[in-house]
Structure 1
């Protein structure tokens, strides 16, 4: 991407996301007004360069309707700017909470898109290695939106035969496959394990393996012990999960086999299913609240450490204002859509002022110590750190 082309883009203040070595901002092309996302990766550190190279190696090779598309790339001495299509529909679980209803048919339709993209990646010798709900985004807020698989910073590229062995220990703790924990050479079957965890959460709102203590969590994963305390979920769905959460990777379903599983094939075409929304959304919100509370109580873990770094960065660079959300009618629209609607109006929110009625909230000065929890809770429940950022009125 040329420098002049990059300058043709108008940078908005909103921060869409932030990683260890990167941040993603929303931009708009000055001429066409088309919105994009630009991922800015700091490449001064070796780890940042490795993440950047990994993601670029994958995105330059792939072309699939359910994989985020790389448009252009611009490199400077210390940064790489990746221009990508903008996903405005929010994270998978935020949509489930906001939707009002969720059935096994809805779950299988989502999984069909994700499985098809993973099957495609594996056919190219690419293993994602960090599949989780946060990396599954809706392209737009509409009910017919497609799902996009994102974040290939930990992806590995091998041969197309599918027998490429990897050895790097990486991934998000709750989604890591047993063979990675055992430090054995592993294959793309680790993606199938992560999909099993994601499916379990989609149908229950809870994790199959959940433990605040990292050592005990890993022991649970290595034993592969989990239960199905859900009377309203079909046996076919449970069988699907069981075939993915199999300790031996050689016995685990591949993405191609999972697409042909009876649950995926029959439920996707079903017209009448039980609404699982109430229990799923309650468990998801309880989980988010519990994580926030445990962090306040001083529990230490890798994820809490990264959260504290995020909070420190937030407080260092922003004015200490916070957003308080109150009861609001969303008309079954995702919070992301409402926030995006406010952003489009380019309306600044000042102290004591009301936000857009569609969102429902207000700002006020608060004790600096309370800012992180308020912002973290909002960003995790609604996946709109860009809107939180807009309230702060500062550019990261």
Structure 2
């Protein structure tokens, strides 16, 4: 349970999302007039620093395999939907070769830029082996078809059973101080590792 919490918090909130680049002030002003949405750190007296996304600089991780939906379905048997969010749906599945229960995060390509998926995969790979962070087992770039014309990404992760921490709090009430401190220790270890 804490692994899922750490992965969600760490990947979604705590990873750095901007980098600073030294830029000519005239270039920054010229770009700002054509792209008003661009983040900037410009202040009075600033020397032309601009922020951009780290995700743009992360190359596609080598572990991402190009496959078809049929190839993924030959490897995994999909069961039930565990969760659904703005950009992805997470499915309980079984690896047909090993019988191992896994979670497969299915991301619609039209809902998330590839740069951000690359950042998530790279971050999870960097955390490989940590006991408090869900492990990424495989990553697939699924080509477009009649189900998802733009294609999908499938991230195969270890299955974290036990449900959402928030749901457990609603169902069972507050944890004792001892249990809460142990959960927070696990979360802190995962975040520190990031």
Judged with a 3 Å threshold, the aligned counterparts in structure 2 of structure 1 residues 42 and 48 are, in CA distance, closer, same or farther, namely farther
Aligned residue runs from structure 1 range 251-290, under 5 A: none
Q: Does 1:11 align with 2:84?
A: no
Aligned residue runs from structure 1 range 191-340, under 5 A: none
Q: Does 1:49 align with 2:117?
A: no
- Equivalent-residue separation in structure 2 for 1:19 and 1:108 (angstroms): 29
TM-score, L = length of structure 2: 0.54
Q: Does 1:92 align with 2:165?
A: yes
1:159 maps to none
Q: How many Å apart are 1:36 and its aligned residue?
A: 0.6
Q: Does structure 1 conserve the Cα–Cα contact (< 8 Å) formed by 2:107 and 2:154?
A: yes
- Equivalent-residue separation in structure 2 for 1:111 and 1:101 (angstroms): 14
Q: Does 1:58 align with 2:123?
A: yes
Q: Does structure 2 conserve the Cα–Cα contact (< 8 Å) formed by 1:21 and 1:48?
A: no
2:175 maps to 102
- Equivalent-residue separation in structure 1 for 2:90 and 2:100 (angstroms): 16
Q: Which has the higher helix share?
A: 1
Q: Does 1:76 align with 2:76?
A: no
Q: Deviations over 1:115-143 (max 9, x none)?
A: 0111111xxxxxxxxxxxxxxxxxxxxxx
Q: How many Å apart are 1:6 and its aligned residue?
A: 5.1
Structure 2 runs not aligned, ≥5 long: 1-64, 144-150
- Equivalent-residue separation in structure 2 for 1:7 and 1:37 (angstroms): 16
Q: Which has the higher strand share?
A: 2
1:27 maps to 93
Q: How many Å apart are 1:8 and its aligned residue?
A: 2.1
Q: Does structure 2 conserve the Cα–Cα contact (< 8 Å) formed by 1:72 and 1:83?
A: yes
TM-score, L = length of structure 1: 0.28
What SS does the corresponding residue of 2:175 show, helix, strand or coil?
coil
- Equivalent-residue separation in structure 2 for 1:53 and 1:43 (angstroms): 12
What SS does the corresponding residue of 2:126 show, helix, strand or coil?
coil
Greater relative contact order structure (CA < 8 Å, 6+ sep): 2
Q: Does structure 2 conserve the Cα–Cα contact (< 8 Å) formed by 1:6 and 1:74?
A: no
Q: How many Å apart are 1:87 and its aligned residue?
A: 1.2
Q: Deviations over 1:148-178 (max 9, x none)?
A: xxxxxxxxxxxxxxxxxxxxxxxxxxxxxxx
Judged with a 3 Å threshold, the aligned counterparts in structure 2 of structure 1 residues 2 and 31 are, in CA distance, closer, same or farther, namely farther
- Equivalent-residue separation in structure 2 for 1:8 and 1:88 (angstroms): 21
Q: Which structure has the bigger radius of gyration?
A: 1
- Which stretches of structure 1, 4 residues or longer, exceed 2 Å deviation after superposition? 1-6, 30-33, 47-51, 93-102
Q: Does structure 1 conserve the Cα–Cα contact (< 8 Å) formed by 2:105 and 2:154?
A: yes
Q: How many Å apart are 1:99 and its aligned residue?
A: 4.0
